[in-house]
Structures are given as structure tokens and as C-alpha cells.
Amino acid sequence: MSDKKQGEAEQPSNNIVWIIALSIILNVALGSFIYSILREVLGFNDDYASLTSIAICIFLAYKYFKHNEKDKATDKNTESKQQESHRGFTYREIHDIPEKENNNKHKNTVFNENELNQKELDRYISKNHSKEEIGLFYERYVGYVFEKKGWHVIYHGAKKGKQDEGIDLICMKKDRVRLVQCKYWSQNKSLFENSIFQLYGTWQLRVKNNEFGFKKIDAYIITSTTLGAIARNSAETLDVKFTENFNLDKNYPKIKCTTTKNGEKIYHLPTDQQYDNIGINKDSRRFYVRTVADAVAKGHRRAYRHAFHNHDL
């Protein structure tokens, strides 16, 4: 008889020995408990209760070994399938497969993230904005126009909110400072004189406090509508400059790209936390792009969304 057949013949006899041994152990450990249940609860007589408790222990031992054999067979089958799946591959090929899958997964994740970021920007542009949101949209657009003309822009209104004292943008170029108030109103409405008076008061207060040193300061109102007659006369009398019918172009480039001092390239969407803290000037490390794909193509990642990061500015 071959060794394999001999091993197969010996396996059942070995199992019987182990079943008997486990049955004895179970009978010692649980026999008295099972006997008391059968005797006192179910009303079995002494002999029948003893035989039944022994039979239960043998049955439990048998079920344990059957379950154990099933697990071993399953493990052996799984191992066989794994070996079969590796057949035809070299060792290097087998170990390169997970790495390639991970690389593809990473590429797909980045690609999907870029798509989601672009959709977020598209929703920001096309959504129905509230009065406050469209006002901020207009301020950012006016700031973009000033930046394209070489001004350094501080988005004062966006950062201060209702405490902006009537100043939405502080624009600086060389020895000049321009305090700008932006008014995005419906075309069928005219701007009132109270906006002129508020801006004029803030302007003169800052001049008196010498807030900008020896720089020349002026006040400027930019609006999507026209000034009313009294507002126009007040602006001309108080030397507050103004531009009327300045329309909002929602399709202007909105993504701000920057490079940190450490050389890290980052882009900011209008929905990002630090967007209004970013000024874009003629520095080649700071510029606008239209799409997320444009920013990514230039090597930029999106700014972190959580707590404040100086290295993202």
C-alpha cells in the first residue's frame, strides 16, 4: 500500500481515537451538569440520564471534529485556487500586480477628486446666489480687474463682513491707495447718496489718522447701476470717484494659484477658506486660471479645507 493510501486509511481511526478522548473530557467537564438537567428538569431515571449525558458528549465531540475537517478542506481549496491563479506568472509579475493596481487606484482617485472640484466650481458659478453671495461675487470680480491692472488688492469687505465701514476693497499701487466700495444693484434702481456719505466719512477718517502714511488716498464707488441725481451731485462735490454700469462677468478666471515659500504649489477655489486672503499680483508665482485642469496641469494641488494653514498662503 502506498504512503498516501496508508495515510488515508489511518486518518479515520485517528479521528475515532480523538473523538473518544474528547468525549471523555467533555463528560468529565459537563457530564454532571448534563446529568442534573436530565434528572431534575426532564425527569430521566438515573441509568437513562447517565447514558444520555455520555451520548450527548460523544455527539458534541463528533460535531467538533466534522466542523474542524470542513475548515481544513476550505483552507486547502483556497490555497489551491491561489496557486492556480499564480500559474503562468513569474515571481516579479505576481508581486508587481498589487503595486500596479494601487497606482491605478491612486490615479483614478486623483482624477475623480479633480472632477469633483471642477463641479464644485461650476455649481458656485451657476447657482442662484443670495443678495450677500452675489455682492461678494461682484467684489471679487472688481478686485480681479484691479489686480489685472497691477494693483495689490486687500479684500477688506470679504474678511470684515458687516464691519467693513463701507470699504470692500483696499487697492494699492506704488504711492497710491484707493478705497473701493462695490454696489451690485439691479439696473432699474439708482444708487442713493448715503453710500457716498459713508465712503466719504471712512475715507476722511483714515486720512486724518494717517493710516497709510504719505500715500495719496482716494475713494471710489463702482456699481452695476447708476447714481441717483443727489448721489451724483454729492460724489462730485466731495470728490468721490465713481464708475457706473460696471457689469459682472461671471466667467472671469476665479481659481487662484500660488507657490509657497517652501515651493509647494497650491490652488484655491472661491469656496475655500483662505480664498480672500490670497492676493494675486504680477509675481509669476501667483496667477488666475479658469479650470481645475489648468491648475493641476501647472502642478498645483487644492488648498487644505480644515484649520488655518500659513503654508497655503
The better pLDDT of the pair 101, 172 is held by 172
Residue 55, pLDDT score: 76
When pLDDT is averaged across residues 297-309 and rounded to a whole number, the result is 76
Residue 238 has pLDDT above 80, yes or no: yes
When pLDDT is averaged across residues 213-225 and rounded to a whole number, the result is 93
Pick the CATH number of 131-243 from 3.40.50.620, 1.10.3720.10, 3.40.1350.10, 3.40.640.10: 3.40.1350.10
Q: HEC string of the chain?
A: CCHHHHHHHHHHHHHHHHHHHHHHHHHHHHHHHHHHHHHHHCCCCHHHHHHHHHHHHHHHHHHHHHHHHHHHHHHHHHHHHHHHHHCCCCHHHHHHHHHHHHHHHHHHHHHHHHHHHHHHHHHHHHCCCCHHHHHHHHHHHHHHHHHHCCCEEECHHHHHHHHCCCCCEEEEECCEEEEEEEECCCCCCEECHHHHHHHHHHHHHHHHCCCCCCCEEEEEEEECCEECHHHHHHHHHHCCEEECCCCCCCCCCCEEEEECCCCCEEEECCCCCCHHHCCCCCCCCCEEECCHHHHHHCCCEECCCCCCCHHHC
When pLDDT is averaged across residues 200-221 and rounded to a whole number, the result is 92
When pLDDT is averaged across residues 27-39 and rounded to a whole number, the result is 65
Of the ranges 175-179, 257-261, 294-298, 302-306, which one carries the lowest mean pLDDT score? Answer: 302-306
Q: How confident is the model at residue 22 (pLDDT cuts 50, 70, 90)?
A: low
Mean pLDDT computed over every residue of the chain: 81
Residue 228 has pLDDT above 90, yes or no: yes
Domain ranges of the chain: 3-73, 97-127+253-313, 131-243
